Amino acid sequence: MRKQTTLLKLGVTCAIIFIISSCDSLEDKKGRFLLKGNEKLEENDPKSAMGFYQEAIALDSTYSDAYFNKAMAHLQLNQIEESILDLSKAIQFRPDYFEAIFQRGLSYLDNGEFYKAEEDADRLLSLDPNNWKSHFLAGLSQEKLKNYPEALQAFEKASAIDPSNSDLMVNQATILFYQKEYSRANEILHRAEAINPAEPNLHNLRSMILFEEKDLNGALESVDKAIALDNEQAYFYNNKGLYLLFLDKPEEGLDLINQSIQMDSKNPFAMRNKGIYYVLKGDKISALSYLEDLAKKYPDMELVQEYYAKAQAL
C-alpha cells in the first residue's frame, strides 16, 4: 500500500514538473542553455559549453548569441576556422552584430585572411565610426597588408577615441618601428608606460628597438621584463634567444629559440634565428636548411639575406 502511494505521489510530481516545463517559453528554454554554456565557459570547459550552446541552437537555429558564444568556445580551443563559421552564422542572422564582426575580423587575421579582415573593418567603420575597435581592426588589417601609413593613421584614430588604452599606443609604436622611426616609437612607448607599466608587449617592443640600436644588454633586460609579465608568448622567448646569440651565448639562445618553436611552430623568425645559430657555429648545411627557404619566402625579413650570404660563404 505504501509503495502504491509513493508511486502515485511520484506521478503527481512528474505531472506537475511536466506542466511547468511545458509552460516555459522558447526564450526561457534557450536562454537557460545559453547561461549553462556561459557557466561552463567561465569554468574553462569550452567543450561542455559548446554542447549547451548547440542545445540552444537546436531550439532556435537563428539564435545569434548562441553562435557567438560557441565561437568564443572554439577560440579557447584554438579552433579558428570553426570559430569563423559560427561568427558568420551570428552575423547572418544579425547583420549589425558589432562584436561578432569584430571577433571575426580578428579571427580572419589569425587565419591569415587579411583581406577578409579588412572587409570586416570597413563594415565596422560603417556601423560605428566612433568606436575604437572599428579603427583598431582597420589598423591591424592594414598592418598585415603592409600598408603602414594607413595602419598608423587607424591606430591614431583609435587612440584618440580611447586615449587611456595603452595597447593602442603600443600598436602605433610598432608601426613606427617597422618604419625605422625608433625615436618616435620610443616617445609613444614612454607615454604608454606611464599609463600601464605592466604591459608586456611594450617591454618586448622596446627590446626590439634597443637591439636595432645595438644595445644588446638593454634589449635583454627589456625582454626579460616582458617575459616576467607574460610567460606564455612564444615570440618573447624567440627574441631573447636572438639577443643571447649576439651576446656570445649561443647554446642558451638556441634553447630559448627551440622553446619558442615548441610554443609556435609557424613563426618564421624563429627559423631565421636557428639559421643564424648554425652560421655562428660554422655549420653550413644546417644553416642553409633554414635560411635558403626563408630567403625565397621572406626576402625582406631583417637579417635573412645577411646571414644567408654568410651561410653560403662558410
Reply yes or no on whether the pLDDT at 217 is more than 70: yes
Which of residues 223 and 16 earns the better pLDDT score? 223
Residue 101 pLDDT class (50, 70, 90 cuts):
very high
Reply yes or no on whether the pLDDT at 7 is more than 60: no
**Which of 44-58, 98-112, 204-218 has the lowest average pLDDT?**
44-58
The predicted model gives 42-63 an average pLDDT of 91
Percent of the chain with pLDDT over 70: 92
Residue 231 pLDDT class (50, 70, 90 cuts):
very high
**Which of 5-9, 140-144, 160-164, 165-169 has the lowest average pLDDT?**
5-9
pLDDT digits (tens, 9 = 90+) for 128-143: 999 999 999 999 999 9
Q: What is the pLDDT of residue 241?
A: 97
Domain ranges of the chain: 29-95
The predicted model gives 177-181 an average pLDDT of 95
Residue 26 pLDDT class (50, 70, 90 cuts):
confident
Rounded to the nearest integer, the mean pLDDT of the chain is 91
The predicted model gives 274-301 an average pLDDT of 95
Q: What is the pLDDT of residue 293?
A: 94
Residue 225 pLDDT class (50, 70, 90 cuts):
very high
Q: What is the pLDDT of residue 40?
A: 86
Reply yes or no on whether the pLDDT at 6 is more than 50: no
Which of residues 75 and 3 earns the better pLDDT score? 75
Architecture per CATH, domain 29-95, reads as Alpha Horseshoe (1.25)
Q: What is the pLDDT of residue 260?
A: 96
User: Residue 207 in contact with residue 220, Cβ under 8 Å?
Assistant: yes
Q: What is the pLDDT of residue 215?
A: 97
Q: What is the pLDDT of residue 102?
A: 97
pLDDT digits (tens, 9 = 90+) for 107-119: 999 999 999 999 9
**Which of 32-41, 176-185, 227-236, 253-262 has the lowest average pLDDT?**
32-41
3-state secondary structure the chain: CHHHHHHHHHHHHHHHHHHHHHHCCHHHHHHHHHHHHHHHHHCCCHHHHHHHHHHHHHHCCCCHHHHHHHHHHHHHCCCHHHHHHHHHHHHHHCCCCHHHHHHHHHHHHHCCCHHHHHHHHHHHHHHCCCCHHHHHHHHHHHHHCCCHHHHHHHHHHHHHHCCCCHHHHHHHHHHHHHCCCHHHHHHHHHHHHHHCCCCHHHHHHHHHHHHHCCCHHHHHHHHHHHHHHCCCCHHHHHHHHHHHHHCCCHHHHHHHHHHHHHHCCCCHHHHHHHHHHHHHCCCHHHHHHHHHHHHHHCCCCCCHHHHHHHHHHC
